[in-house]
Structure 1
Amino acid sequence: MSKAAEIDIVSVSKVYGATTAVHAISLKIPAGTYCCLLGPSGCGKTSTLRMIAGHESISSGDVRLGNVVVTDFPPAKRGTAMMFQSYALFPHLDLVDNVAFSLKMKGVEKDERRAKAMDMLRLMQLEAYATRRPAQLSGGQQQRVALARALITDPDALLLDEPLSALDPFLKVRMRAELKKLQTSLGITFVHVTHSQEEAMALADLIVVMNDGRIEQAAHPRIVFEQPATAFVARFMGDHNVISGRVTQSSEGKLMISVPAGADFLAMDKGAAGLAETADIAVRTDHVRIGQPSEKGLGFTGSVTNVEYRGSSVKLSVIGAGIEDFTAILTDKQFFVTPVKVGEAIPLCWDIEDAVVLGRLKH
């Protein structure tokens, strides 16, 4: 297999008429990394992937693969391969000819390209199906054919556009494991577009959270999960409550905000708020407990609006103290010691370390 390539995206923008889909983003993806571009629909992640691939022109900025600026190269000359969401297999060709197609376009001899296609089908554990057509395969098998076809060109980087979206939930989990194993064994750079936080967490070494054509955070999954950079990341990853309010006091690395309804909340501030008049703070949902807070600003009393049993955990939704929607994730053991019902008023609390001030993007 060929050497993995570092991908360097330098101040890349994509403009369609009066609409800017991607705003001058810069990102370094180290060679051999499994990178997931994560975000809601319309955030610019697929446009970014297509610009790396060369299927979309770049309005300004550059894309570098290894030491080569590939901004103006056609897709076939970039050393990347793209696997599309729809798989785009040829229905009239058997698997060998589907996989060998790009080599045929390059003028590789029939015996040589078919032998290489069989090697790729073996890698995907599909050699027994070599003479079948795509319609005779399951969704997971079709996906592996599409992967084999992308990988036969020995790319330095494989680009995947929502590759698991068409699969059922069980198959998604199995294919995630296959993709991770494949990337580890090939050692090449994978860039994978998804809107699923769970998928990105399971696969990536580097998660790039995008919103509105900008990068909100690019970091290891654990950092994105435990230390979201902005309110958007905290909300999108779904593991933090975000409370916004007016800064009323700031000293010794702590900050107090006041929400419109009058409750005060305390948080650790590593300088993210600066001299701003307002701030967003994040509180980990799984670190919230039922009980009275140890000091002012580390809890509130609210009314339970929903109780969702999830097996090993229970999710409580609570409203109160000027907060519309607050989540507490308790272990089933914690919950069933003193179960609560919808409509009950309960005190919630957390530790100071679990409330942090979030940064804000400078647009």
Structure 2
Amino acid sequence: MAKILVVDDEADLELLVKQKFRRKIRENIYEFVFAQNGEEALEKLGQHPDLDIILSDINMPVMDGLTLLTKLSEANPTIKAVMVSAYGDMQNIRMAMNRGAYDFVFKPVDFEDLDLTMEKTIRHVRQLQQTLRAIKENNILKMYVDENVLNFMTHKEFENNLMRNEVQEATVMFVDICEFTAITEHFPANTVVNLLNSLFDKIVKEIIGQEGHVDKFIGDAVMAVFKGENHLQRALDAALSIKNQIKTSKEITGTSKTFKPEISIGINSGEMVSGNIGSVSLKRLDYTVIGDSVNTAQRLQSAAKPGQILVNQQVFMQVKEAFQFQKIGEVLLKNKALPATVYEVLE
């Protein structure tokens, strides 16, 4: 879907645009946002960072279209403007082009021509967005990967090393943000993503603080692995810290729902296989851990209620002197033939 901002002080234009493009609006090809002058358009750009193109008049009160053009690169570097104006003299066209306009359409508007111009402009914007995304991904890779490693990744030896695996003792923790999927229906997309990232930030800081590493983000859940000395104790300390941190998060209120963040956690410790899982031919692999110990940790998290940290009998026996527990009882975990005795970590 392309998101288009229409900027014009003519009151009838909004209705006319909605009528002329009703089929594409209904089919989710176009989504329109409207503003009556350049100043209001900048406010809309702040509210809708996912806008693709602008259709703007030139002569408007408060802030005209030519002034708006000079401010677009600051507001959104990939957005492109098509000027739609009755002022079709060469001086206005030259001024608009010099200030960054992508194209020019005259009033009265030929909507078939406008549609073709919009399609062309949207294709151009999509190419810009893809290029910026590729540059960003490449720069992020350079931030985390040494240049020698990048060169090594192009060699055949890299593919051979990718398939080397090992068995090791470690602790796995799954942290799920409870009922988070439900809020996507009640809050704007940007609010949902920003909230999820802020909660992940709190979770990740506590994991790193206990020398664990984040294995992956799975939707609204985090999988973390703790290795080395006292890995189980460090995982439990991290879980308790995460629980306390999330408690301090403020609730947010939407149009019809209030959301107070809560987490559920499952932890298990034991032997697991560590290695690169994925497709070598696509060069898309995750260095991760797999095995029954990992699966059990995830099942324990699924069984946990909001605010609970659950472990099984084996983990309880290893650290019962160092932490406070409350016995929950026998719970049937998914894909397990026999019930497991489960404990909640309290302190």
> What's the TM-score bracket when you normalise by the shorter of the two chains?
under 0.3
Q: Which structure would you say has the larger Rg? A: 2
- TM-score w.r.t. structure 2 length? 0.27
- TM-score w.r.t. structure 1 length? 0.26
Structure in which a larger fraction of residues adopt helix: 2
Structure in which a larger fraction of residues adopt strand: 1
